[in-house]
Amino acid sequence: MPVRPAPSPLLRWTLAACAVGVLLALPVAIIAANLLLPGGEAWAHLSSTVLPRYVGTTLVLLLGVLAGVGVVGVTCAWLVAACEFPGRRALEWALLLPLAMPAYVIAYAYTDLLQFAGPVQTWIRTVAGPDVRLPDVRSLGGAIAMFTCVLYPYVYLLARVAFLRQSPSLAEAGRSLGLSPLAAFFRVNLPLARPAIAAGAALALMETLADFGTVSYFGVQTFTTGIFRAWMSMGEPASAAKLSAILLAFVFAILLAERWARRQAKYHDATPSARRERVALRGVKAGAATTACALPLALGFLVPTFLLVRMSLAGGDAAFGERFARLAFNSATLATLTALIAVAIALFLAYGARITRSPVSAAVNRFVGLGYAIPGAVIAVGVLIPAARLDNLLADAAQAAFGLKLGLVFTGGIAALVYAYLIRFLAVALQTVEAGLAQVTPNMEDAARSLGMNASETLAKVHAPMLRSSLVTAALLVFVDVMKELPATFVMRPFNFDTLAVQAYNLAADERLAEASTASLAIVAVGLVPLVLASRRLVGREEMRGTSPPRAIEA
């Protein structure tokens, strides 16, 4: 359909969208600009001592996680997509469950299980002798293992869809040209799925870079822990900003690498192919496939959940009750507020881009979508530096003009925190709302008009019912992300205002793992909600087509 002219009143809408974009980009721009400013003495010291270590550790961490999520994610995706084995249908969606586990939560659980005085090592000592020890889980290797356990679903999710979309005749063509099944996988199926795998791996690496809880708890020195040390212990905002800027460079390197890996995506035939026949595995092979898929699920979800429940029952009482209710209320307040604002802005941006048909609006929306890649620690520093300066200016001005003692207007309350959340999580809402709007094709709008509905009736009778579920989904996704968020909350929460995530982190850092378990479990339970939604859709696409309710309107 050709593009229709944009009437001029819509210009205002475009300008407002630009303003939103600028507002959200400001903190990140401040951080990026810091890279160009000269550093002080403290920075000179930092950059000669710890900076090389941060870079080295971060690179090893990224490579380790890349290898881990790549192997686990692709293996499970291929088995589930191409083979039939006992438990496949259940595993197909259950393999997503680890996404509900923040990495820092399973870090607490496994530390409790595997520490020197823990049940596993105690048992090993009684069996194999008092001098046998396991390698310490609180290490760089341990962190890689934790991230792999909870982040492989990103690769799994996207690779699985890519494998399912591949026409079976492609691999058959490979076979007819003399490839063994395994060779066909490596030379046909895997290269075709590469863009999807790269996209999934990029998401996993972004999460790894953004993590603070796990690396900090394990004492692994990466950029996020470095930023926090510079900011909170050393009182060096300028150095924190510089470290943030370098971390940002890592993020963009990954984004670019993902773009590069995806450059072939256009060749791919996206037309739904004939339903593929899965290869039925028997005997040992079937057992091996079931085990291979059950293992990541067990390590990433079942075992830590079991450990947390046990800890919670044994020693978590103190955490339940009045204090727990207060923390949950704080978390829910922040999450609800952010979710509502995010959905409102997302609707404004998405609908605006559609009705103005302006390339500028579209560009703003793509740009806002990048916020999800920015680590919370970076956003926190980027928001706090200007906010603190504004607070000081305001306080000085009030003092000078009225002799008033003004409190911290921007940094004292939750406004700055919600602002930081919006920068990071608006992308989630925007994507969901855009997907919902895309289901209302321009021809549907035109059809409603030609059937006698005017523009506002069309909005009420076509757009609203079709969008309702996407708006709810968008709000829910943002809600859950805010509940789980740790680094920005940790730095920016108002004095005496703790959330479940912060509480879990603080208790774990104090070695009070049992008490941390209740808050951790609560976070996991909330995290399960979007997964249940997503897995319903995952299964729905294939198996439930042609049955009752209108699936098409789910975002």
Partner 1 sequence: MALALEADRISFSYPGSGPVADGFSLALEEGQIGCLLGPSGCGKTTVLRCIAGLESIDAGEIRLHGVAVSRPGFTQAPESRRVGVVFQDYALFPHLTVAGNVGFGLRGATKGSRAQRVEELLEAVGMSGSGRRYPHELSGGQKQRVALARALAPRPQLLLLDEPFSNLDVDLRERLSLEVRSILKAQGMTALLVTHDQHEAFAMADRVGVMRRGQVEQWDSAYNLYHRPATRFVADFVGEGVLVDTVIEGKSVSQLLRPDDVLHDDESPTKAEVLKKAFRGAEFLYTLRLEDGKQVLSLVPSHHNHAIGERIGVKLDVDHVVAFPRD
Chain residues binding partner 1 by CB under 8 A are: 2-5, 439, 441, 443-444, 446-454, 461-462, 465-466, 545-546, 548-553
Our CB check for partner 1 shows the closer of 259 and 357 to be: 357
Our CB check for partner 1 shows the closer of 396 and 446 to be: 446
Our CB check for partner 1 shows the closer of 268 and 449 to be: 449
State the nearest-atom distance from the C-beta of 53 to partner 1, in Å.
Answer: 55
Can you give the three-state secondary structure of 470-487, one letter per residue? HHHHHHHHHHHHHHHCCH
Q: Which of 465, 474, 472, 396 lies closest to 432, judged by CA?
A: 474
Task: Fill in the DSSP letter of residue 320.
Answer: T
**Neighbour-count burial of 69, counting CB atoms closer than 10 A to its CB (0-12 exposed, 13-18 middle, 19+ buried):** buried
State the nearest-atom distance from the C-beta of 270 to partner 1, in Å.
Answer: 16
77: number of CA atoms within 13 Å, CB side?
Answer: 30
State the nearest-atom distance from the C-beta of 277 to partner 1, in Å.
Answer: 23
State the nearest-atom distance from the C-beta of 67 to partner 1, in Å.
Answer: 41
Our CB check for partner 1 shows the closer of 112 and 445 to be: 445
Our CB check for partner 1 shows the closer of 32 and 437 to be: 437
Our CB check for partner 1 shows the closer of 8 and 48 to be: 8
Phi, psi of 84 (to 5 degrees): -115, 125
- Cβ-based neighbours of 193, under 8 Å, separated by 6 or more: 74, 77, 159, 162, 163, 166
- CA–CA separation, 93 and 157 (whole Å): 9
State the nearest-atom distance from the C-beta of 313 to partner 1, in Å.
Answer: 45
Our CB check for partner 1 shows the closer of 538 and 553 to be: 553
Q: Which of 228, 287, 294 lies closest to 95, judged by CA?
A: 294
State the nearest-atom distance from the C-beta of 464 to partner 1, in Å.
Answer: 10
State the nearest-atom distance from the C-beta of 453 to partner 1, in Å.
Answer: 6
Let me know how long the chain is.
555
Kindly report the number of other CB atoms within 10 A of residue 105's CB atom. 31
Dihedral angle computed from the Cα positions of residues 193, 194, 199 and 202, in that order, rounded to the nearest 10 degrees? 140
- Would you list the DSSP string of 42-103? HHHHHHHHTHHHHHHHHHHHHHHHHHHHHHHHHHHHHHHHHEE-TTHHHHHHHTTGGGGS-H
Our CB check for partner 1 shows the closer of 317 and 446 to be: 446
State the nearest-atom distance from the C-beta of 550 to partner 1, in Å.
Answer: 5
Residue showing tokens 């401040």: 30
Handedness of CA 332, 433, 491, 405 (dihedral sign): negative
- CA–CA separation, 283 and 286 (whole Å): 5
Our CB check for partner 1 shows the closer of 38 and 549 to be: 549
Instruction: Please list the residues that pair with 83 across neighbouring strands.
Output: 279
State the nearest-atom distance from the C-beta of 366 to partner 1, in Å.
Answer: 23
Our CB check for partner 1 shows the closer of 120 and 447 to be: 447
State the nearest-atom distance from the C-beta of 271 to partner 1, in Å.
Answer: 13
CB 500 within 8 A of CB 522: yes
State the nearest-atom distance from the C-beta of 426 to partner 1, in Å.
Answer: 26
Our CB check for partner 1 shows the closer of 389 and 461 to be: 461
Identity (one letter) of the amino acid at 123?
Answer: W
Our measurement of the distance from residue 132's CA atom to the centroid of its chain's CA atoms, rounded to an integer in Å, reads 38
CB 483 within 8 A of CB 191: no
State the nearest-atom distance from the C-beta of 358 to partner 1, in Å.
Answer: 13
Kindly report the number of other CB atoms within 10 A of residue 125's CB atom. 14
State the nearest-atom distance from the C-beta of 228 to partner 1, in Å.
Answer: 48
Our CB check for partner 1 shows the closer of 454 and 496 to be: 454
Our CB check for partner 1 shows the closer of 242 and 463 to be: 463
Q: Which of 191, 209, 223 lies closest to 65, judged by CA?
A: 209
- CA–CA separation, 357 and 351 (whole Å): 10
**Neighbour-count burial of 294, counting CB atoms closer than 10 A to its CB (0-12 exposed, 13-18 middle, 19+ buried):** middle
State the nearest-atom distance from the C-beta of 316 to partner 1, in Å.
Answer: 45
- Would you list the DSSP string of 524-537? HHHHHHHHHHHHHH
Residue showing tokens 């680590």: 375
Instruction: Please list the residues that pair with 104 across neighbouring strands.
Output: none
Our CB check for partner 1 shows the closer of 180 and 443 to be: 443
Phi, psi of 65 (to 5 degrees): -65, -40
